[in-house]
Amino acid sequence: MIEVRRLTRSYGDLKAVADVSFDIGRSEVVGLLGHNGAGKTTVMKMLTGYLEPDAGDIRIEGLDIRGQRREVQKRIGYLPENCPLYPEMTVIDALDYQATLHGVPQSERPAAIREAIEHTGLAPKADQVIATLSRGYHQRVGVAQAILHRPTVLILDEPTNGLDPSQIRHMRTLIRELAEHATLILSTHILQEVEAVCDRVLIMHTGRLALDSDLAALSNPNRLLVSLKQAPAQVMPRLMELDPVTVVEPVKTPDGRYRYALDTADPEKTAPLVARTVGTAGWDLYGLQPEVRDLEALFGAVSRRRET
């Protein structure tokens, strides 16, 4: 669906994007993360054809963006971070104008506009002047413009920026609905948004792709977390006696308990052994589960690793 190979772009002496490659499959929802200046917006502008790469290749639905830019752009809907709107226009007039720019045939325009308004919940505001709308409705108009021509690829830059909690929930629902018919790339500073709606995450750091992973793969299949009240001096010798356990790392938690991270080659076999050991010792067991790495912690770890 989307193939990116060795993408590079510089601004003078600053290399904003350096040798970035990834593939995105049809109907995937991918979160693009990174600190300010990491290269996210530059990547999105190159994907949409608004910025020429210095080197590298981009193919969307088999089309090379260098030689078939207009054909590629017909397949893309793009919401920039600060979506430019005409404040003096009404919502419906702005959408009609954008449909014209997108090349939607006149006979299909009313249905396309109606569909975009329904998707984005703009019906109560359709005849209002854009200048009178709240930030949340501005974002909805931006998304409506991006989906008017029924694109197969949607690129959304900070779609929940400035929205209140209710508007964020609506935007999440909308993104899930759009993903039924399009491939989505979602750039955001809000890690919870990625965890809520994305299948996969790409993390940029200083212009390079630092991580490309399915969210489901962020769990560690060879590590168990055990929560107890007992201190390490009492617990660690007992847990290290278990054959499958190779390492035990204790961490004191704010609630006064201890969390023990157990490295093991066979978590399925180890978990019942741990439960029986805890029961035999007469300890209260407060938690026993595979380790799942929090996206925020992983983001921080990737950034620190790239800096060393």
**C-alpha pair distances (Å), 197 with each of 145, 178, 215:** 21, 11, 10
pLDDT value of residue 153: 96
Q: Cα–Cα distance between 111 and 127 in angstroms, integer?
A: 17
Residue 84: other Cβ atoms inside 10 A:
7
pLDDT value of residue 301: 63
- Using a cut of 0.85, tell me whether the model's pTM lies above it: no
Could you tell me the two tokens for 294?
Answer: 């929090």
Q: Cα–Cα distance between 287 and 304 in angstroms, integer?
A: 29
pLDDT value of residue 25: 93
Nearest to 116 by CA among 165, 77, 84, 160: 77
Q: Cα–Cα distance between 296 and 208 in angstroms, integer?
A: 19
**Buried b / exposed e across 208-241, counting CB within 10 Å, b at 16+?**
bbbbeeebeebeeeebbbbbbebebeebbebbee
pLDDT value of residue 219: 60
pLDDT value of residue 10: 96
Q: Cα–Cα distance between 139 and 79 in angstroms, integer?
A: 9
Q: Along the chain (308 residues), what's the average pLDDT of each consecutive run of 10 residues?
A: 96 94 94 89 94 96 94 94 90 96 94 94 95 90 94 92 82 88 89 86 92 76 88 94 92 85 89 95 93 68 58
pLDDT value of residue 307: 54
Q: Cα–Cα distance between 147 and 32 in angstroms, integer?
A: 20
Phi, psi values for residue 265, rounded to 5°: -80, -15
Ordered domains of the chain (ranges, CATH): 2-216 (3.40.50.300), 219-307 (3.30.70.120)
pLDDT value of residue 123: 95
pLDDT value of residue 246: 93
Burial tier of 59 (Cβ tally within 10 Å: 0-12, 13-18, 19+) = middle
